[in-house]
Structure 1
Amino acid sequence: MSQAEEKVVPVQSPVKPAVMAVAVLGFIALAVYLVYLWGFCRFYVPAGHMAVVTAKSGKAPAPGTILVERGEKGIWREVLPEGRHFLDPVQYDVKIVPAVSIPLGKVGIVTAKVGKELAPGEIIAPDRESKGVWRDVLGPGVYRLNPEGYSVEVADAINIPAGYAGVVTSQSGRPAAPGEFARPGERGVLSDILQPGLYYLNRYAYQVNVIEIGMNQVTMAAGSNESMVSTRSRLSNATDALAELESNTLNFQKKLRRERAERMNAAPAVTVSDGNRKSAVGAFPLPKAAAPLPAEAQIFGISRAVEFPSRDGFKVALDMTVEFELMPENLAKIYLLYGDLPQVVEKIILPQVLSVSRLKGSSYRAQDFIMGEGRETFQYDLSQVLGETLAGRSIIVHNAIIRNVDIPINILSPIRAVSLAKEQNLTNESLQGTAKKLAELNIETELIEQRRREVVQETEKLVARIAAERDQAVAQLKAETELTVAELKLKKSELLAKIAQLKGETEVKTRYLVDNETARGELLKAEALGGAAKLSELKLVDSLNPEVETRIIYAGPGTLWTDLKAGALPLSAAPEK
């Protein structure tokens, strides 16, 4: 190695250990942060709950602010849903509360504590950015509204039963014009009614009056504490939940009617009949649970009969029942003009009944109300005039029925005596007629018995004649049958004789033909052999010995024996034809 060469010694850099130290410290810090985050910042919101977060630090909100946004100090407007979340407990407080759950058949009425201020006297918020009660309600479901800024009241939905309709009154906005339906944004009665069914409405924004439709009755009876308006029976509901809602809706309507009656310094106008028990409407406060509703009539009323002077100056008092009907299409207009059903009865129907009854009744005599024809005529005239009068008020009258008539005793006694005398006379005439009819009946009974005996005799005679004719017919049929059998036997004998004759003749002819043909065959055989002698000789040879073989060979003329020695018989040649 030369002197010019220098020895290189590696020098360790001080930067690398510092980087490693920083990395280790960073890893330790990250591990500590993760342990702190997982062990101290982690919280879990279970299902059906929500977390309300309060920030302990951040930008100061505007004065009077209840709920703040993220980054501001105070209660967050936003709530955290169920699940796992991470927030530093040093900077945030977390309160876990149940979420708002609205069950089926209920509504949630939301009151906002935050937002723009309302106009003086208003409680319904025009939108969801203002304070006050939201017009729209929350339907069945689960909702997460911050309880620090919103309160939710769970109330019953409105279920209109069958046989009823709901008239809706808006309770917010500027007043509607007198006698006119409320338009959007106005306060008053709405033109659209609610048909039977379930409705989710805000009872602070809308009042629903459930009114009976269909056939109703108003009864005025003397000596009674009350007259009645009978509504048709309510149909039972198969669903317990809907039955409870119907019950609550109807009981709330009764509560409104009771309060209205109390405000008018009148007795409660409604009682409910349930079998043998009757109770006033005041016994039906708005229930928390369903109360059993009777299916019988509801009762409204006054406690006086229809009184008027008759044409002849006597005072007449009538108990009367008027059947009327409110049609659904006219219900909102009737409620707007007159009020609920008790007010309709009190303001419209009863005054018209009294007025028309006095007007028409004063043209009849007192005795006309006792006799059936006069009462029926008055009842018909009353129904017609009352129907025409109330038709202009959109109320349909079907019938006016007189149930009882009370007239002075000084006129009732003579009329009753005359009526009894007439009835007694009619009874005597009826008895005489009955005796006459009885005598006629006895005569007819004897005639019937005589006729019965005649019929019996005629029947026996007819039976004997039919039996004789039957026996004669049977004997004649038997003789004819025997004759027919004899004729058939004769014809059978004749047929058998003919068969025997034909059989004998056939056998003779057959034998003759066979013998004739046999003879002809022998003749032909003899001719073939040269004569009868040859044939005889042949038969002789055949009869000698069956084992002897006979051969006939034609060899010209010769003797039998010579021919036998030769083994053949001489046969003459057949003549040529």
Structure 2
Amino acid sequence: MAESKTYGIKKGLVVSLGALLASILAIGGIAFFLTFRVTVPAGYIGILNAKTGKSLSAGQILAKPGEKGIREDFLSPGRYYFNPWSYAIEIHQEINIPGEKIGVQESLVGDPLPAGEILAEPGQKGIQREILGPGTYRINPYATKIHLYDNVVIPAGKLGVQTSQVGKPLPAGKLLADEGEKGVLRQILTPGTYRINPFQIKVDIYDAINIPAGSVGVQVAKTGKIPDKDSVLVEPGERGVQKNLLPAGMHYVNPYEYDVIVVSIQAQKLDMDANPNTNITTKEGQMLETEAVDFPSKDGFQIVTDVTVEWSIDPDRVAEVVATIGIEDKIIDKVIRPNARSISRTEGSKYAAKDFIVGTGREEFQKTFFDKMRTFSQDRGILIHRALIRKITVPSEISEPIKQSVIAVEENLRNQQRIETAKSAAQLAQEEAFAEQNKRRVEGETQKIEQQLKAEAEAAQLNIKAKQRLEAAKINLESAEIEAQAILKTGTAEADVIKLKRTAEAEGLAASVSAFGDAKAFAMYQFASKLAPNIQVVFAPAGEGTLWNSLDDFFKIGETGAALKQMQQQSPQNQE
């Protein structure tokens, strides 16, 4: 019994110890699982930091296997078991680069860059040449630092000029860099989106060249071979004004390679007059000269003209004009304005003052002005479409008498028109025309005498300016004679009209008598037509005979005067 009891105690002890050991092992397993397990979630990486091993060399940042420190390799998402006394695990988020960005890599480890270098190659420390596009990357943050930059966006109507910040220096005298050279690159970027390392290429945005309709672009090359000979225009590849033009439209031109001058080839207008808005002034507003053209006439009077010139550049000589003269303002200052002044003064001084008012002088001056403006300007590559003398101002002592003369001529023309109208209408009386003719003849002669006396008096009084005033008096005299002649012609026409009217009335009366057959029948008609409206119908004995029998007796008397006398004696008034 005692042995059996002892065996039972030993057996229970063994079982208890077994259970305890099992529990210890279970607890240890759980503790090991919890202590040594490392989970790297999706979207992250695990950085190993070795707590034991060989110390790093001076300047070394990342540890290799067997060395103490941050390991170069890292853990991707997953489950791992590490001795926590040997390693510490750091969880870092993966690098995410959005679509509108780029990632510039800066290597924190590697060999130092050679002197003067900016970008690092693989294995070198510094900004890497290669960039990262949009996406997700697992990168050890202790090995490489990522800098986010915007994509280079060139909007519509713009261009990008690239400046390489790395490469070989440019040779002396060279302005634009080719591939592998440092400086402004010849190649430009047109509108679009670009992923460019900002430490390698700097991009500056410029406006594209927009040439509107009716214009062209003249290119001035800033680079290229210097021409061997002194020429206005150069060939492609040479420095200077190019022969080839850019047509209307959008053009992407490197501004460091070409200057583009937009030039209109449409017609333009220059007004040269006394308008204050067109006067030539300084920057301070002080007037230098009026735009109006003035010059002395052949007889010494000062003439002022307002001029309008319409011009354009010869489309086949645009580059030449820009190279030799310049653009619009220079063309006006060097060609249009000086030619207009010179021609006006040279040709205008060949005419007397009155020639610009009467006669063909003004038309001749206008034609000569246009022809010479066109010839002189065409030699410089400028086309003259119109050159108009819009207004000519002559001194009043000349213009006023001539003006009155012109008015008299116009009045004469109106009188002639009245004469023609009167002849066709035949409505004026001849006797009235004779009287009016005498009256106007007297007035005309009186005006003629007055003008002669006035001309003689003015000529005697104004001896100093005798030549000018004598010319004016003669013009007034000519005007008076023209008006007198017009009066005479008008009076004769009015008399003819009255004669025609009386003749027409007589002929009409004769035609009426002829239409009734004889004078008796016509008189009976006239008598009846005058009597009829006053007759009232009354039925009464009339005695022998009738009214018409009495009229028959009336016409038997013979002469018209006797018949009228008989009718007066038989009228009711005479009976009373």
Structure 1 length normalisation: TM-score?
Answer: 0.55
Match of 2:180 in 1: 129
Match of 1:352 in 2: 339
Matched positions, count: 355
| Structure 2 counterpart of 1:425, from 371, 393, 412 | 412
Q: Which has the larger radius of gyration?
A: 1
Letter in 2 for 1:137: I
Cα drift, residue 115 of structure 1: 2.4
| Structure 1 counterpart of 2:328, from 317, 333, 341 | 341
Cα drift, residue 74 of structure 1: 1.0
Q: Is the 8 A contact 2:47 2:92 kept in 1?
A: no
Match of 2:61 in 1: none
User: Does the C-alpha gap of structure 1 residues 168 and 412 become closer, same or farther in structure 2, counting only changes over 3 Å?
Assistant: same
| In structure 2, C-alpha distance between the alignment counterparts of 1:62 and 1:404, rounded to whole Å | 80
SS of alignment partner, residue 77 of structure 1 = strand
In the TM superposition, what whole-angstrom CA distance separates every residue of 1:342-401 from its partner, at most 9, and x where no partner exists? 101110121111122222222222222223743222212221122122221121112211
In the TM superposition, what whole-angstrom CA distance separates every residue of 1:45-91 from its partner, at most 9, and x where no partner exists? 22122111111121222212222222211111221112233322111
| In structure 2, C-alpha distance between the alignment counterparts of 1:382 and 1:160, rounded to whole Å | 34
In the TM superposition, what whole-angstrom CA distance separates every residue of 1:151-189 from its partner, at most 9, and x where no partner exists? 212222121111111112223456556542244554422
Larger CA deviation: 168-177 vs 435-444? 435-444
Letter in 1 for 2:102: M
Match of 2:456 in 1: none
Alignment pair present for 1:143 and 2:130 = no
| In structure 2, C-alpha distance between the alignment counterparts of 1:422 and 1:28, rounded to whole Å | 118
Q: Is the 8 A contact 1:218 1:227 kept in 2?
A: no
User: Does the C-alpha gap of structure 1 residues 179 and 357 become closer, same or farther in structure 2, counting only changes over 3 Å?
Assistant: farther
Match of 1:194 in 2: 246
| In structure 1, C-alpha distance between the alignment counterparts of 2:209 and 2:95, rounded to whole Å | 41
Match of 1:152 in 2: 203
Larger CA deviation: 402-411 vs 432-441? 432-441
| In structure 1, C-alpha distance between the alignment counterparts of 2:263 and 2:427, rounded to whole Å | 64
Cα drift, residue 333 of structure 1: 0.7
Q: Is the 8 A contact 2:216 2:265 kept in 1?
A: yes
| Structure 2 counterpart of 1:219, from 259, 271, 278 | 271
Alignment pair present for 1:325 and 2:302 = no
Alignment pair present for 1:385 and 2:372 = yes
| In structure 1, C-alpha distance between the alignment counterparts of 2:293 and 2:226, rounded to whole Å | 40
Larger CA deviation: 371-380 vs 156-165? 371-380
Letter in 2 for 1:148: F
Structure 2 length normalisation: TM-score?
Answer: 0.55
Alignment pair present for 1:414 and 2:401 = yes
| In structure 1, C-alpha distance between the alignment counterparts of 2:46 and 2:249, rounded to whole Å | 62
Match of 1:60 in 2: 112
| In structure 1, C-alpha distance between the alignment counterparts of 2:369 and 2:299, rounded to whole Å | 19
Letter in 1 for 2:292: A
| In structure 1, C-alpha distance between the alignment counterparts of 2:155 and 2:195, rounded to whole Å | 15
| In structure 1, C-alpha distance between the alignment counterparts of 2:140 and 2:359, rounded to whole Å | 95
Mapping of 1:34-73 within 5 angstroms?
A: 36-38=75-77, 40=92, 42-73=94-125
Letter in 1 for 2:195: R
| In structure 2, C-alpha distance between the alignment counterparts of 1:28 and 1:143, rounded to whole Å | 39
Mapping of 1:45-124 within 5 angstroms?
A: 45-118=97-170, 124=175
Alignment pair present for 1:305 and 2:292 = yes
Could you tell me which runs of 5 or more consecutive residues in structure 2 were left unpaired when the two chains were aligned: 1-35, 49-72, 78-90, 429-496, 509-576
Give the RMSD, CA atoms, in angstroms: 3.6
User: Does the C-alpha gap of structure 1 residues 347 and 178 become closer, same or farther in structure 2, counting only changes over 3 Å?
Assistant: farther
Match of 2:355 in 1: 368
Letter in 1 for 2:272: M
Larger CA deviation: 396-405 vs 414-423? 414-423
SS of alignment partner, residue 62 of structure 1 = coil
User: Does the C-alpha gap of structure 1 residues 374 and 116 become closer, same or farther in structure 2, counting only changes over 3 Å?
Assistant: same
Letter in 1 for 2:358: M
User: Does the C-alpha gap of structure 1 residues 42 and 413 become closer, same or farther in structure 2, counting only changes over 3 Å?
Assistant: same
Could you tell me which runs of 5 or more consecutive residues in structure 1 were left unpaired when the two chains were aligned: 1-24, 229-264, 270-300, 451-577
Q: Is the 8 A contact 2:307 2:387 kept in 1?
A: yes
Cα drift, residue 321 of structure 1: 0.9
Match of 1:497 in 2: none
Structure 1 vs Structure 2: percent identity of aligned residues? Answer: 35
Q: Is the 8 A contact 1:316 1:407 kept in 2?
A: yes
User: Does the C-alpha gap of structure 1 residues 138 and 352 become closer, same or farther in structure 2, counting only changes over 3 Å?
Assistant: same
| In structure 2, C-alpha distance between the alignment counterparts of 1:28 and 1:81, rounded to whole Å | 29
Q: Is the 8 A contact 1:41 1:88 kept in 2?
A: no
Letter in 2 for 1:44: N
SS of alignment partner, residue 147 of structure 1 = coil
Match of 1:395 in 2: 382
| In structure 1, C-alpha distance between the alignment counterparts of 2:221 and 2:283, rounded to whole Å | 28
| In structure 2, C-alpha distance between the alignment counterparts of 1:196 and 1:45, rounded to whole Å | 42
| In structure 2, C-alpha distance between the alignment counterparts of 1:101 and 1:60, rounded to whole Å | 33
SS of alignment partner, residue 75 of structure 2 = helix
| In structure 2, C-alpha distance between the alignment counterparts of 1:268 and 1:193, rounded to whole Å | 38
Match of 2:261 in 1: 209
Letter in 1 for 2:303: V
In the TM superposition, what whole-angstrom CA distance separates every residue of 1:291-335 from its partner, at most 9, and x where no partner exists? xxxxxxxxxx97321222222222211111112221322111100
SS of alignment partner, residue 426 of structure 2 = helix
Q: Is the 8 A contact 2:47 2:140 kept in 1?
A: no
Alignment pair present for 1:164 and 2:215 = yes
SS of alignment partner, residue 44 of structure 1 = strand
Letter in 2 for 1:81: G
Structure 1 residue ranges (4+ consecutive) displaced by more than 6 angstroms after TM superposition: 27-35, 440-444
| In structure 1, C-alpha distance between the alignment counterparts of 2:231 and 2:282, rounded to whole Å | 26
Q: Is the 8 A contact 2:100 2:151 kept in 1?
A: yes
Cα drift, residue 205 of structure 1: 3.0
Match of 2:539 in 1: none
Larger CA deviation: 172-181 vs 48-57? 172-181
Q: Is the 8 A contact 1:219 1:227 kept in 2?
A: no
SS of alignment partner, residue 424 of structure 1 = helix
| In structure 2, C-alpha distance between the alignment counterparts of 1:364 and 1:80, rounded to whole Å | 85
Letter in 2 for 1:116: K
Q: Is the 8 A contact 1:182 1:188 kept in 2?
A: yes
User: Does the C-alpha gap of structure 1 residues 437 and 380 become closer, same or farther in structure 2, counting only changes over 3 Å?
Assistant: farther
Q: Is the 8 A contact 2:151 2:196 kept in 1?
A: yes
